Structure 1
């Protein structure tokens, strides 16, 4: 399930997803194929079966399909921000209740991975993708044609649960398709897609709401989901090797009539209830008993909370202060997206930097090395927020806060890259649980922050409220520097971290 430390440092995103794609299991439930005794009837992975041996164009087609599916799932979370006025008007509710359409969806995205992970270990990746996306598509219909607010909110939560597969399983497919020497670039493309999605949502929704009915936001989402379903069924092969071997064994038994052929997965004892229980309980134990993981989880959760709070704050900043219309306010999110893409473009530098660090430690660098990129993000994020805070005055040109959002977007990317990879490498035995704990914490903050954004901005003003957020990120900024220096000592006292 995991790679050695040298590969971890060199290929950060790959290691994150390899370790986080499914919940960690007890030893007797995660036996690898090579733990079984040699048997001539045990099927082996041949080149024609190996997903890494697919043509390059086919592998990239699968990666882009998976990435666009992930982007669509997170796009659906934020597009609702610009439908709240119409939703409140047409379904006869208040604006505060309408904000729940974001919160409930994000909550579903956070809870879903704890249940999807165990299922993917038993049945493979493709059936999870296809089933979840068909359900995602089906349950979006009541939100596109809602009879009343209760139905709308219930199905927003359910669609969040269905979309969660692409935040917990999809990265594993990318690492299945490429070897360690070539996985960094496709993994970086996949990794940024869930973070670009929330930025694209307001941009597209702004155009739709400005020019037509708000319900068309969800109808456009239905069209996109339908296209993604076709692509998932036609362009993405099964990449999970244990399931590939299981299918191969079944085919050999059928064609040869010899029932002695078997795959390792068929000889493992699985208790789905126990797997889900383990998947759900371990992340909470980690949060309760490990201060290092809790601190980093709160830091990354604060950032996602601020990102989702922006969906309520930007209309106040740009519509109320600068007189933007809905369409123009959606475009104001381009600053955050530009920062993220610019940060992604620097990934080759970081890959080479970590290769050099790995050589200094004879190929076995400590997990704290991964926090170097987080240190840069820890500085950029509050700088961007402070620039935004003190440029939101009416007499300051509107481009200034958008420029300030660029370093914030870059900081978010760097922080998540550093924190995710550190959690995977420092908590290798329970890497998936460490990522699940982070996901649950992030989703909780992202669900709650939009609920008080309006009240906070109206009470403190655009300058005071944004400066408060900048101050909170400043308080958290020393974390990667502290853990970089003291991480080894703290890990030695942890019941979960590697020593």
Structure 2
């Protein structure tokens, strides 16, 4: 791993904090570096109308900032930018090796958090026996964790969009605390304490689920998309170093100039409210969040039928039944569509309308209920277990395509607010999933597998109408938004 990669990791930043600029030097700290100052250009002073209110979101978003301009920037600043098109600190210029290392770490963190939710399900019968709770109460160990990883990103992910904070600090702080709480949870001896700690565990593990998508949008180049987000953090720190080395106090990053003399607490409050403001004021985002919440709730409810079908009807052990979840890997065939069709299309024609990315989801949403119905009405002891499993493969593949299309649509349409949007989306999805964990078991107990899954299939077909509306009229919904990127 290069010194460049180590320097930007928490270890490298800690070494620099302790030892100062003696180790892992930046290019502008090395001997012989000459900074070529750009020409001074006057900075437009915000009008009184733009500063009239600390909650004037319309004025904010016109400047691509999620908070209002409470302070005024002074004219004559020199903007610090990249050192040319091949600047190695530019996120879009990172080497393939660094992209792979960074993205792999994000995937590993995400995998760990999701494992933390599902890994406890096999212990629920033990909770019933040891803690003398009923089945619904034992499910709290799972549902509170799921709810927690929906709430956590609302606080940590918007912080990652503040240029002075960046992505690494929320990652490092939240996941370090997650590891500590996980160790504490393993030693708890009462059920109430377990449920509370599981909620906190989810709160601390959740930020990576939302911020990870924003980090991917930062580092993975997308043809002809203006890259934004947290290059601001790199340039802000570069401006600080250059002011120190050159003595020129007029050197400022673009984010410093835009934010002027806004107090940090006002800035913090603005960023923390961004997930709610965008969701409430943007019809397409509100629509997407409700839609994905419904999809996620159906998804979790569907899983609750697996033990009934494979252990009670077909006599599988819990271990063998768990292998059914490996069918999710087949959904990865969607990546072939991305590689063979969308990537060449984008390089040749540009990004086009973001709604173009939703077309596979339209077909997937139409087919997904068929998979549920196949599973529902072939789950009989006289029908081979392979037949309902085919329905699972069909449904899982379709849901994977739907979610991937939506998660691509969000950062393309709203690149500046990617982390906040994923945080709001994660919260609604997790809240619905938390409820689904508790209502799905009574659903299948009272209606049976056939009728219970048919209810889920009907809701899934309603979701098809939703994604069709978004594909057909998404551009009109975005046109009413003050947040969306215009293409």
Give the TM-score taking structure 2 as reference length.
0.74
Secondary structure, in 3 states, of the residue corresponding to 1:169?
A: helix
Partner of 1:378: 365
Question: Higher mean Cα deviation, 417-426 or 75-84?
Answer: 417-426
Secondary structure, in 3 states, of the residue corresponding to 1:333?
A: helix
Encode CA deviations 1:391-445: one digit per residue, 9 max, x unaligned.
Answer: 2111111222222111212111221123334445556776655444322221111
Secondary structure, in 3 states, of the residue corresponding to 1:28?
A: coil
- Displacement after TM superposition at 1:291 (Å): 5.5
Distance 1:271 1:387, change over 3 A: farther
Distance 1:163 1:480, change over 3 A: same
Q: Which has the higher helix share?
A: 1
Partner of 1:201: none
Partner of 1:172: 214
- Unaligned runs of 5+ residues in structure 1 are 1-22, 184-238
Partner of 2:173: 131
- Displacement after TM superposition at 1:260 (Å): 2.9
Partner of 2:249: 260
User: Is 1:345 aligned with 2:340?
Assistant: no
Encode CA deviations 1:260-315: one digit per residue, 9 max, x unaligned.
Answer: 37542555345555455545555445655666544433332122112222443211
What CA distance in whole angstroms lies between the structure 1 residues aligned with 2:477 and 2:215? 33
Partner of 2:69: 28
Give the TM-score taking structure 1 as reference length.
0.72
Encode CA deviations 1:228-266: one digit per residue, 9 max, x unaligned.
Answer: xxxxxxxxxxx9433333434444556x48363754255
Distance 1:333 1:323, change over 3 A: same
Secondary structure, in 3 states, of the residue corresponding to 2:133?
A: coil
Distance 1:281 1:261, change over 3 A: closer
User: Is 1:366 aligned with 2:353?
Assistant: yes
User: Is 1:109 aligned with 2:149?
Assistant: yes
What CA distance in whole angstroms lies between the structure 1 residues aligned with 2:75 and 2:269? 26
Partner of 1:56: 96
What CA distance in whole angstroms lies between the structure 2 residues aligned with 1:31 and 1:57? 42
- Displacement after TM superposition at 1:460 (Å): 0.9
What CA distance in whole angstroms lies between the structure 2 residues aligned with 1:143 and 1:83? 14
What CA distance in whole angstroms lies between the structure 1 residues aligned with 2:293 and 2:430? 7
Partner of 1:330: 322
Aligned residues: 413
- Unaligned runs of 5+ residues in structure 2 are 1-63
Distance 1:54 1:426, change over 3 A: closer
Distance 1:180 1:298, change over 3 A: closer
What is the alpha-carbon root mean square deviation over aligned residues? 3.5
Distance 1:260 1:289, change over 3 A: closer
Flag the structure with more relative contact order, 1 or 2, with Cα contacts below 8 A and sequence separation at least 6: 1
Partner of 1:39: 78
Encode CA deviations 1:324-380: one digit per residue, 9 max, x unaligned.
Answer: 111112111122x13322223322134147539x84xxx573333222121122123
Question: Higher mean Cα deviation, 109-118 or 279-288?
Answer: 279-288
The structure with the largest alpha-carbon Rg is 2
What CA distance in whole angstroms lies between the structure 1 residues aligned with 2:246 and 2:95? 32
